[in-house]
């Protein structure tokens, strides 16, 4: 992804980069020198686990800022599918929230080019943040040398969640390690149990599945090459991956398409489905306490592995918060960003969300079970990295939409050649 941002650095954005940083204008946001009494924070964290994590950060923020009320402007919809449309309308009408959630990486580029968010260089300098974040993450949230968001976590996209009881019933010995083994296991579950082999939810979960199949078939280098300027999606390896994607979809159910990711994930831990490929936010949902969590037990109700073909690769994404240009309560917005950037805030949020801290100094004792494994792998010097296209790391909003449209049509007609042609066109039209 760093290469893509470097490539687009030739685009002239000098006017945008004259926007003020966090060092000035903190007069209460609305002018007149009045202190801010509220902050509106926009996100899509309404589901189990994520809502609990946001509530924990909210409590920390209000404790440290007793005169400011936290206005939770979250809009439901997994992966921000609904929230992003509402946000775009608000920004276009110059009615920004005080801060909004965005995935670190190419997803933020449109906001930067439109002059809708401020660079945060002075905020990072004033709060000593350049030393506490991994350099690769700082590179990801920078454009033309300026930092534009505050990451609160790291998620892993390529996780296979599975039901040990259903696999035992199907005679499958463990998590499949390749795409070919995965297809064989799906067939065994269908033939021997009558249960759902692979649970899916809303359409975006099919996009999420696609990026995992591409990574599993193409390998890390081949997958990463798809997101470089001038990438060619017409090759035989991509064709094979799309054919595998089509084959895998035969073992899902159309009934699940009306639900979001939670319903699809729940089917696995309830023993109604064998597999679900979903990001590690599912972990917080699985083990969280009622009423928002399911209170399930790892290694009993569910197990996990890297999605087929991706062992040794961490397909990552990061949730981050921005400072919109013209934020109504700018001082309060900066105070919120301090909470989001803090060790305390991240250690309150991430264990509940099912993610690991973006900072390098998180309290490791708080991250147990799956999260302990994730933290160890993220920090391993031998792990390979791949950015999630669906979750905003490698694909900007236009390319993201074009791929989603192609997948939506494919779910109706199942025409692999047509899907590949649409993806080739989307890549060619990806001019930044």
Pairing of strands 356-357, 153-156: antiparallel
Q: pLDDT tens across 168-179, in order? A: 999 999 999 999
What would the pLDDT profile of 291-317 be if each residue is shown by its tens digit?
A: 888 999 999 999 999 999 999 999 999
Q: Strand, coil or helix: what is 265?
A: helix
- Asked whether the predicted pLDDT for residue 345 surpasses 90, the reply is yes
The answer to whether the beta carbons of residues 341 and 104 sit under 8 Å apart is no
Q: Both tokens of residue 306?
A: 């890297």
* 283 and 142 fall within a common domain: no
Tell me how far apart the alpha carbons of residues 406 and 191 are, in angstroms, rounded to a whole number.
31
The answer on 108 and 13 residing in a single domain is: yes
Q: Do 345 and 359 meet the contact criterion of CB atoms below 8 Å apart?
A: no
Residues 259 and 307 in one domain: yes
Same domain, 132 and 180: no
Q: How much is the pTM? A: 0.86
Instruction: Let me know: does 386 contact 378? Beta carbons within 8 Å.
Output: no
Q: pLDDT by residue (tens digit) across 80-126?
A: 778 888 999 999 999 999 999 999 999 999 999 999 999 999 999 99
Within this chain, do residues 186 and 275 fall inside the same structural domain, yes or no? yes
**Is the per-residue pLDDT at 8 higher than 50?**
no
Predicted pLDDT of residue 255: 57
**Range in 137-141, 314-318, 370-374 with the lowest mean pLDDT:** 137-141
- State whether 39 and 111 are in the same domain: yes
Asked if residue 421 and residue 336 are part of one domain, the reply reads: no
19 and 141 both lie in a single domain: yes
Please check whether residues 259 and 399 belong to one and the same domain. yes
Residues 216 and 189 in one domain: yes
What is the total count of domains within the chain? Answer: 2
**Is the predicted pLDDT of residue 79 greater than 70, yes or no?**
no
On whether both 220 and 242 belong to a single domain, the answer is yes
Q: Is 63 exposed, middle or buried (0-12, 13-18, 19+ CB in 10 A)?
A: exposed
| CA 390/CA 412 separation, integer angstroms | 20
Judge if 177 and 145 occupy the same domain.
no
Q: Which domain holds residue 77?
A: 2-154+319-381
Q: What is the pLDDT of residues 91-100, one digit of tens each?
A: 999 999 999 9
CATH number of the structural domain spanning residue 41? 3.40.190.10
Question: Residues 243-261: what's their mean pLDDT?
Answer: 84
């Amino acid at each position: 992804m760093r290469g893509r941002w470097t490539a687009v650095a030739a685009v002239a954005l000098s006017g945008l980069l004259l926007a003020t940083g966090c060092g000035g204008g903190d007069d209460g946001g609305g002018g007149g020198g009045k202190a801010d009494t509220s902050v509106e924070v926009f996100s899509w964290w309404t589901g189990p686990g994520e809502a609990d994590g946001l509530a924990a950060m909210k409590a920390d923020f209000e404790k440290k800022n007793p005169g400011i009320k936290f206005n939770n402007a979250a809009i439901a919809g997994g992966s921000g599918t609904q929230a992003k449309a509402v946000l775009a309308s608000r920004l276009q009408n110059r009615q920004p929230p005080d801060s909004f959630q965005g995935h670190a990486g190419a997803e933020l580029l449109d906001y930067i080019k439109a002059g809708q968010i401020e660079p945060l260089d002075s905020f990072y300098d004033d709060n000593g943040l350049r030393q506490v974040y991994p350099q690769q993450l700082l590179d990801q949230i920078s454009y033309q040398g300026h930092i534009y968001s505050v990451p609160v976590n790291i998620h892993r996209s390529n996780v296979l969640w599975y039901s040990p009881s259903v696999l035992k019933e199907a005679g499958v010995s463990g998590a499949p390690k390749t795409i070919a083994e995965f297809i064989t296991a799906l067939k065994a579950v269908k033939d021997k149990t009558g249960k759902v082999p692979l649970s899916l939810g809303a359409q975006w979960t099919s996009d999420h599945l696609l990026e995992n199949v591409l990574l599993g078939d193409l390998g890390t280098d081949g997958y990463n090459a798809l997101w470089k300027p001038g990438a060619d999606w017409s090759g035989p390896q991509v064709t094979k991956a799309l054919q595998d994607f089509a084959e895998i979809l035969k073992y899902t159910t159309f009934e699940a398409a009306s639900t979001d990711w939670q319903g699809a994930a729940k089917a696995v831990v309830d023993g109604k489905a064998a597999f679900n490929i979903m990001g590690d936010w599912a972990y917080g949902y699985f083990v969280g306490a009622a009423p928002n969590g399911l209170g399930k037990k790892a290694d009993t109700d569910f197990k996990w592995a890297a999605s087929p073909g991706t062992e040794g690769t961490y397909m990552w994404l990061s949730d981050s918060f921005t400072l919109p240009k013209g934020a109504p309560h700018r001082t309060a917005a900066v105070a919120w960003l301090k909470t989001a950037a803090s060790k305390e805030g991240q250690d309150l949020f991430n264990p509940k969300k099912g993610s690991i801290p973006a900072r390098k100094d998180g309290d490791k004792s708080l991250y147990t079970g799956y999260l302990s494994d994730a933290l160890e792998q993220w920090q391993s010097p031998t792990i390979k990295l791949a950015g999630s296209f669906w979750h905003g790391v490698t694909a900007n909003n236009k390319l993201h939409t074009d791929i989603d449209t192609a997948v939506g049509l494919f779910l109706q007609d199942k025409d692999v050649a047509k899907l590949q042609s649409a993806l080739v066109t989307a890549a060619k039209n990806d001019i930044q």
